[in-house]
Amino acid sequence: MAGDALTSGEYIKHHLTNLTFGQHPDGSWGIAHSAAEAKEMGFWAIHVDTMFWSIGLGVLFLYFFSKAAKTATQGVPGGLQNFVEWIVEFIDTSVRGSFSARNSLVAPLALTIFVWIFLQNLMDLVPVDVIPELAKLLGIHYMKVVPSTDPNATFGMAIGVFLLVLFYSIKIKGVGGFAGELTLQPFSSNNPIVNLLFIPINFILEFVSLIAKPISLALRLFGNMYAGEMIFILIAIMYNAGLILGLFGGVLQLGWAIFHILIITLQAFIFMTLTIVYLDMAHHEH
């Protein structure tokens, strides 16, 4: 539980602050001791907790999956292999369903996105105070355990996907083809002069829809997870408000956690599916 000295506002704020490592205004490097201090560090700072949890979960994912892959036999599969194969086949079906070109990168990309985001989201189901309190015992004062509630994490992945979309758009269609896609549609005319006039209009429309891809990808995941975590935090505040409200909060937390299982899976799936779709669009003229 949050310390008694904290007000609800401080409690929430505390929970929403990342463990930030960066340069203090006085020039020394170190951990920020408050949200304001973290803000002052500007761009050249890093969220140690986000990086730790996301990389840790990624390594966990890769450890188990590569272990299953290494021992993958053609014979009767064991438990872990069965589970991994089940996920791999699920991803493979999804990719085959919405990606029509041939690209050996897309399926592993989709697998990584799905499992990694799912694991990141899964941290949301750990009661909000457990890990921060444990961290406090270790002398770490800020700990935000759900990497996908950090826009840096979601934008990092979305930008990765966006770069791949750009790369394949240019690789498949060429610079001219890609530029044409951005400028010569949706409006076009047989008259070259009118067509020339349409170019800026088309570019504005298409550029916005292009830029909207990574932003919507990142913000959708971030928004859902952030809102979910916020509700967990608000429920956790009820624990301090007496026995009856506390019990009520327990019931609420259980209910919200069960509902959240759906959300975390769904968000991981949506991120993956949209990635596949965007890459598919990058492979086709339209």
Partner 1 sequence: MNINLTIIGQLLSFAVFVWFTMKYVWTPIMGALETRKKEIADGLAAAERGQHEQELAKERAKDVLHEAKAQAAEIVAQAQKRAAEIVDESKDTARVEGDRILTAAQSEIEQEANRAREQLREKVGMLAVAGAEKILKKEISADAHQDIVTALAKEI
Applying CB under 8 A, the residues found at the interface with partner 1 are 16, 18, 20, 22, 38-39, 41-47, 50-51, 54-55, 58, 61-62, 65-66, 68-70, 72-75, 84-85, 88-89, 92, 104-105, 107-109, 111-112, 116, 147, 150-153, 155-157, 159-160
Strand ranges in the chain using DSSP code E only, listed in sequence order: 20-23, 29-31, 45-47
Asked about 18 being catalytic, the answer comes back as no
Nearest CA-CA partner of 203 in 177, 180, 172: 180
Our answer to whether residue 216 is catalytic in this structure is yes
Residue placing its CB nearer to partner 1 in the complex, 63 or 259? 63
- For the question of residue 220 being annotated catalytic, the response is yes
Find how far residue 113's CA is from the centre of its chain: 8
Pick the closer one to partner 1 by CB: 117 or 210.
117
Indicate which residue of 98, 103, 152, 216 is catalytic. Answer: 216
CA distance 205 to 145: 38
Q: How far is the CB of 5 from partner 1 (least distance, A)?
A: 23
Copy the structure tokens of residue 60: 């966990």
Smallest distance from partner 1 to CB 160, Å: 5
Closest listed residue to residue 109, CA positions, set 262, 270, 281, 279: 279
- Residue that the structure tokens 């969220």 belong to: 47
- Closer to partner 1 by Cβ: residue 77 or 180: 77
Closest CA to 65 of 50, 45, 87, 47: 87
Is 87 within 8 Å of 103 (Cβ atoms)? no
Q: How far is the CB of 29 from partner 1 (least distance, A)?
A: 12
Q: Least distance (Å) from partner 1 to the CB of residue 74?
A: 4
Which residues are annotated as catalytic? 216, 220, 224
